[in-house]
Amino acid sequence: MAASRGVRHDAMRARNMAVVLGAIHRTGPLSRAALAESTGLTKTTVSKLVSDLLEAGAVSERGAVRGGERGRPGVAVSLSGERVAALGLEINIDYLAACVVDLTRAVRLRRTRTADNRNSNPGDTLEALRRLADEVVAEAAADGLRVIGAALAVPGLVEGGLLRNAPHLGWRDVRVTGLPDVPYTIDNEANLAALGELWFGSGAADFLYVSGEIGIGAGLVVDGSLFRGAYGLAGEIGHVVVVPDGPPCRCGGRGCLEVYAGQDALLTALGDAPADPPAEDPPAGLRGDVPAGLPGGGTAGVAELVARLEAGDGEALAACDRAGHALGVALTSAVHLLDPGRIVLGGVYAPLFPWLSGPAAETLTAHLGHLRATPELAVSQIGSDAAVLGAAGLVIQDLLADPVTVLGL
């Protein structure tokens, strides 16, 4: 009845390594005896695998825990946050961000820099991102952390590792190169922000994360996994049709949600920010550090909007009301098509939540009728940090799924 015949040794070792590391990750500190019991592997096999994981810095041994079924205490093996780390990177319209997350998903470093990346030169922006990344990798190294991989969040459509279209950056078909010398992936910011909310936010396993930025994206998490669609382009809620013959959108369509509820639409309603930056805008470049946190950039406009909302300014309240109702219409279509758990509002929607969520929920409930209950609307716990944290978290997820490949074991 042996199931292993014909399975090659290397593939089996890789699979068993993932099983052992996964058990340590899920269950916390475990003795080798308890690991053998819970994985069904022999103690000899477990010991060999744990030795390799210790050497790679993925786990550490410390203290004593209750052992296997005979209950004798053993040395506790747990995930180590001391040697292995992941790099998260983000290019957004008005900032660059980087973070380092260790194997226990503790956030070790976070850096955000304002930058005007609208209609920027990809080469210049990527060079600025590389400098930021080099800095945080060096800082992490000084802390004893080896960065084993990176992921980059971008505000646009990504297909097969290519940034196909980022309308607000003005980039088309850009292949990202020149980042620090580690394996890296590139992904849509709303997808990664949804994963950030999953791993660093509320901890719920089923939700639609809606990322309100200059563009509006969404990432659907079902049972702890990101739904990506056939080509990895799912979740573009910013271009859900709110009014079929509405005003033109930058995407080429008409009446998209973004026209009514994007950051520019909100600020333009106040006369604070142009929907299209004038040609004489300064070129893309760094404009100094800002504190990490929310919202990462476009801070001045959104902060002023929040101040005016808090002061009860009628124009500001009307702008949020309009945007919230448009969001409610788009969410109705999203709920019917995607059937999410709760709905989490992030990005600039996080600070605007007290004024947006009411009108959005009201419209959503009215349009959902009696077919189903209105999903709960919740505010993101991590705001504008979601995408860059999700990027680093994705690297950790890949490591846990296949430690042999990612750690070169």
Nearer to a copy of itself, 15 or 62 (CB): 15
**CA angle at 289 for the pair 183 and 151, rounded to the nearest 5°:** 15
Is position 26 an interface residue for a copy of itself (rule: CB under 8 A)? Answer: no
Nearer to a copy of itself, 8 or 314 (CB): 8
Is position 233 an interface residue for a copy of itself (rule: CB under 8 A)? Answer: yes
Nearer to a copy of itself, 86 or 93 (CB): 93
- What are residue 339's phi and psi, to 5 degrees? 50, 60
Nearer to a copy of itself, 16 or 211 (CB): 16
- Stretch 164-193: interaction string toward a copy of itself, x if CB under 8 A: -x-x--------------------------
Nearer to a copy of itself, 104 or 365 (CB): 365
> Which of 126, 179, 302, 329 is the binder for a copy of itself (CB under 8 A)?
329
Least Å from the CB of residue 227 to a copy of itself: 7
Question: What single letter denotes the amino acid at residue 31?
Answer: S
Is position 4 an interface residue for a copy of itself (rule: CB under 8 A)? Answer: yes
With CB under 8 A as the contact rule, which of the stretches 13-21, 117-125, 291-299, 311-319 interacts with a copy of itself? Answer: 13-21
Least Å from the CB of residue 384 to a copy of itself: 23
- What are residue 368's phi and psi, to 5 degrees? -70, -20
> Which of 65, 182, 368, 409 is the binder for a copy of itself (CB under 8 A)?
368
Q: Are 238 and 215 in contact (CB under 8 A)?
A: yes
Instruction: State whether the Cα torsion 279-159-345-377 is positive or negative.
Output: positive
Is position 213 an interface residue for a copy of itself (rule: CB under 8 A)? Answer: no
Nearer to a copy of itself, 45 or 185 (CB): 45
Q: How far apart are CA 28 and CA 408, in angstroms?
A: 24
Q: How far apart are CA 92 and CA 384, in angstroms?
A: 10
Is position 311 an interface residue for a copy of itself (rule: CB under 8 A)? Answer: no
Is position 374 an interface residue for a copy of itself (rule: CB under 8 A)? Answer: no
Helix axes 314-338, 299-310, angle to 10 degrees: 110
Is position 358 an interface residue for a copy of itself (rule: CB under 8 A)? Answer: no
Q: How far apart are CA 113 and CA 90, in angstroms?
A: 10
With CB under 8 A as the contact rule, which of the stretches 135-143, 237-245, 264-272, 378-386 interacts with a copy of itself? Answer: 237-245
Is position 218 an interface residue for a copy of itself (rule: CB under 8 A)? Answer: yes
With CB under 8 A as the contact rule, which of the stretches 100-108, 247-255, 262-270, 390-398 interacts with a copy of itself? Answer: 247-255
Least Å from the CB of residue 313 to a copy of itself: 26
State the DSSP H helix or E strand holding residue 335, giving kind and residue range, or none if neither. helix 314-338
- Stretch 28-47: interaction string toward a copy of itself, x if CB under 8 A: ---------x-xxxx--x--
Q: How far apart are CA 327 and CA 283, in angstroms?
A: 32
> Which of 23, 30, 76, 242 is the binder for a copy of itself (CB under 8 A)?
242
Is position 240 an interface residue for a copy of itself (rule: CB under 8 A)? Answer: yes
Is position 253 an interface residue for a copy of itself (rule: CB under 8 A)? Answer: yes
Q: Are 260 and 322 in contact (CB under 8 A)?
A: yes
Cis-peptide into 248, omega within 30 deg: no
State the DSSP H helix or E strand holding residue 183, giving kind and residue range, or none if neither. none
Question: CA end-to-end span of the chain, whole Å?
Answer: 30
Q: How far apart are CA 151 and CA 145, in angstroms?
A: 17
Q: Is 204 exposed, middle or buried (0-12, 13-18, 19+ CB in 10 A)?
A: middle
Q: Are 94 and 155 in contact (CB under 8 A)?
A: no
- What are residue 75's phi and psi, to 5 degrees? -75, 135
Q: Which residues contact 363 (CB under 8 A, 6 or more apart)?
A: 324, 325, 327, 328, 329, 331, 332
Is position 333 an interface residue for a copy of itself (rule: CB under 8 A)? Answer: yes
Give the binding site for a copy of itself (CB under 8 A).
1-7, 9, 12-13, 15-16, 37, 39-42, 45, 157, 165, 167, 206, 218, 222-223, 227-244, 249, 251-254, 329-330, 332-334, 336-341, 363, 366-372
